[in-house]
Amino acid sequence: MTQAPAPQAASLEVWPGKAYPLGATYDGTGTNFAVFSEAAEKVELCLFDADGTETRITLPENDAFVWHGFIPNIEPGQRYGYRVHGTYDPPTGQRCNPNKLLLDPYSKAIDGNFDWNQSLFSYNFGDPDSRNDDDSAASMPKSVVINPFFDWGNDRPPGYEYADSVIYEAHVKGLTQTHPDIPENIRGTYSAVAHPVIIEHLQSLGVTAIELLPVHHFANDSTLIDKGLSNYWGYNTIGFLAPDSKYSSSPNPGGQVQEFKAMVRALHEAGIEVILDVVYNHTAEGNHLGPTLSMRGIDNGAYYRLVEDDKRYYMDYTGTGNSLNVGHPHSLQLIMDSLRYWVTEMHVDGFRFDLASTLAREFYDVDRLSTFFELVQQDPTVSQVKLIAEPWDVGPGGYQVGNFPPQWTEWNGKYRDTVRDYWRGEPATLDELAYRLTGSADLYEQTGRRPVASINFVIAHDGFTLRDLVSYNEKHNEANGEDNNDGESHNRSWNCGVEGPTDDPEINALRSRQQRNFLTTLLLSQGVPMIAHGDELGRTQQGNNNVYCQDNELSWIDWSDPDTELMEFTRKVSALRAAHPVFRRRRFFSGRPVRQRGGDGLPDIAWFAPDASEMSDEDWDTGYAKSIAVYLNGNGIPDRDVRGQRIVDDSFVLCFNAHYEPIDFVMPEKKFGGSWIAVIDTAADDGDEPTPVDAGQKVQVAARSVLVLQAATEE
């Protein structure tokens, strides 16, 4: 599809149109345009030819501060923007300037890039109190009218329960850019994510959902561009309804929408859900020194939280310059309309909310019952998809792990920290490790939630990769151009004796074992596991723990040199989890004997010291202890299948040894199981045949390793 020339204003018919829906809506005969602004005195719709020729049309109607008009014969592919006339007085929070072309907050596609120069700013560089009236149109990308029609065929959401989910966090480009079996012309795009080789890889890992780093259209920061870098991660949104064109292989304006939908359809056909990492807490317009690109020039005070006693400044709970004003109805409407659009029109299956505590700040404090969460709770569409919170922001009281409403799940930062500390040998971690392995009841049970409220992760995009976690004690972010001052300094990592790459075979063997330890712990913990892309392949970022600006080989998966043994191990552990519901319980353990429903009178869980004695309070409080065994009773699962039948599984004993020497574990007494056979050993060489171990017998668990034993089937 190529864009037709924009008609001249004199030849255009402009009908009143409708105030809803907001944005540009094509109906087959023309396009309705609607934009909210209480601050505006007049709004001009600006249509652009392919060569940049601009045609301005004053929107004729204003209903409840929504400016709107319908223009016949305006078709998909048409590029447009707005100019808003009104008061420019930053000290009172008003920043209208018709010399600045503005993106539609409801853009469903955006075409072009920002040409960072003075014209994008409403003040003159060096004088924030001045006014700059340079026209910005030539330096701005443009909103695009899209074709809303798409053949979804028989597309249906896979609809996995949380308990059965394995999430794979990935970056569209980083996942696909170097894969040799993907055609070069589509690498790094939505089409590449939908390529059979990527889908087959995800399926082989047992992945049920891919969680994509931000794909909402975002701006590359001028400060990064000046350094020869870019905003690789994409946490700098400027279009909440628009899939970013940077990940599209289509040459046509708006083609990214069709390509994104095709990706979702292909993933659904393969049984894989699509979860989007979304950034509703701030936008790319930054603080009072930022550019005027969209909402700032449309209605600054409605869309952004301003400092009450000096409204030229912005409240910043995100560390990025501004915070969206979730206390204003039209700002809330934008968020909710965006969420519904991605579910109903783009068919995505859920969202991970970046810095979600910001969305709970109606005033200054975090309020778990804020209007945003009430709207989500009541929405018949949004409330039914997967909702994952990053439960913190950078403001006061922003760390809210465990405090989100019942229907929400959370990135469990305490899980990450505890598991990292345990495997690097920190003292006094056993009691907290027990909570994390069993679904973090201490965080979620009192609020009516279940183990699946905990999205368990050891590695995410933000921080070390798994390989780097066991290879570096310190961050090495020099490539970011900030003198290694950016990124987290306290990583809870351990380099196993040498900083960075080494030829020492013992250290490399230990690093491989530690990676297997982390993956085994993650995949066999109660809750929902999340794997970061490439960790199953041994991906490294050479010690850089903040590759937000590195759109290059440092941040992309290197498919040419995968750790195939680690990949096969990951598949094996994931398959064990999928095959056994005892690792996917929907309710917390009680620790009490199971006597009802055919129970065996044994507890649903039991904890043992290496000598097979049940853990005492003194054992839990022993700071130096680093070894523990846990018995999971397959006959003690309080869940039922879809037909209402009680779920029964095999029982397991998991032996954890973070000590630097091997430990002999005695198997529990016979009532727990007569014979056990090792099914996962993070220290074993491939091909080792496990020997059954009887109750009361000893089994050696290697230094810094996990041994998983399954109750042997009685003949």
Dihedral angle sign, alpha carbons of residues 635, 637, 638, 642 = negative
**CB-based contact 527:451 (threshold 8 Å):** yes
The residues near 598 (Cβ < 8 Å, ≥ 6 apart) are 635, 646, 648
Q: Which of 211, 273, 299, 390 is catalytic?
A: 390
What are the residue ranges in the chain where pLDDT is below 70? 1-10, 362-369, 595-599, 685-689, 714-715
Report CA-CA distances (Å) from 467 to 479, 494, 515, 705: 19, 11, 7, 16
Q: Identify each DSSP E strand in 393-434 by its residue range.
A: 409-411
Q: Is 115 a catalytic residue?
A: no
d(CA 672, CA 633): 8
0.85 exceeded by the pTM?
Answer: yes
**For position 575, what pLDDT does the model report?**
98
159 burial level (CB within 10 Å; 0-12, 13-18, 19+)? exposed
Say whether 217 sits in a helix, a strand or coil. strand
The amino acid at 650: D
- CA 425 from chain centre, in angstroms, equals 29
Q: Which of 354, 431, 536, 563 is catalytic?
A: 354
Model confidence pLDDT, tens digit, residues 128-154:
999 999 999 999 999 999 999 999 999
**CB-based contact 605:633 (threshold 8 Å):** yes
d(CA 102, CA 120): 10
**For position 715, what pLDDT does the model report?**
46
**For position 362, what pLDDT does the model report?**
58
Q: Is 390 a catalytic residue?
A: yes
Model confidence pLDDT, tens digit, residues 73-131:
999 999 999 999 999 999 999 999 999 999 999 999 999 999 999 999 999 999 999 99
Alpha helices in 254-358 (DSSP H): 255-269, 295-303, 329-344
The helix (H) or strand (E) run that includes residue 518 is helix 505-524
The residues near 335 (Cβ < 8 Å, ≥ 6 apart) are 240, 280, 324, 326, 359, 372
Pairing of strands 528-532, 167-170: parallel
**CB-based contact 194:188 (threshold 8 Å):** no
